[in-house]
Amino acid sequence: MARLEKRWDARRTGLEPISCEVSTTVAASRERVWTFLVHPRSAQLLDPTVVKAFRVPGTPMAGVGEQHCTVLRQGDILAAHLTELVAIDAPRSIAFRSLTVPGGFLSSYGLEEVHGGCLLTYRVEGQVAAGSGAAAERAARSNATEALTMLRAVVESGAILPPPD
């Protein structure tokens, strides 16, 4: 019945839900991973298309409502992407809502202490055009896996970020 409801909603709205979850173990303390994860400028170390990343002035700092702006280079064009922190349980979990990507995308991170480091779990969910869900989920999983692999490498390298703006 749930599958039928999803198909009906996709027909009615023209959208279908997607979600994916990936995890990796980082050989660092949960606090170190957390500090890196919540820093807006970490995006510049994780994605070569990111030109600049910063906390949006005038938004709350280190709490619900804090917004981050990421400026990306897409070919010859610069594009700004805004996210807003919507849930935080330091240093266990954090969730961001995209303000500029259609589909109501929500990204969340969970951090769990494990032997030898921190288990970092990333989950993303949102909506895409009906009929494109399977391909979008594959792309989201691939992108998420790549991002966590890069994050693990950067954190384990000992990289240090300046204090947040």
Of 130, 147, 144, 110, nearest in space to 18 by CA: 130
Q: Using DSSP, how many helices (H) and how many strands (E) does the chain show?
A: 4, 7
> What tens digit of pLDDT does each residue of 37-78 get?
999 999 998 899 999 999 999 999 989 999 999 999 999 999
Q: Is the pLDDT of residue 103 over 90?
A: no
Sorting pLDDT into bands at 50, 70 and 90, what band is 163?
confident
Strand order in the sheet with 67-74: 15-26, 117-129, 106-114, 93-98, 77-89, 67-74, 50-55
Q: Is the pLDDT of residue 79 over 90?
A: yes
Sorting pLDDT into bands at 50, 70 and 90, what band is 151?
very high
Name the average pLDDT for the chain. 92
Q: State the average pLDDT over residues 85-98.
A: 97
Q: Is the pLDDT of residue 9 over 70?
A: no
Q: State the average pLDDT over residues 144-160.
A: 94
Which has the higher per-residue pLDDT, 108 or 7?
108
Q: State the average pLDDT over residues 141-157.
A: 95
Six-digit token string for 66: 């804090």
Q: Is the pLDDT of residue 145 over 70?
A: yes
Q: State the average pLDDT over residues 103-130.
A: 96
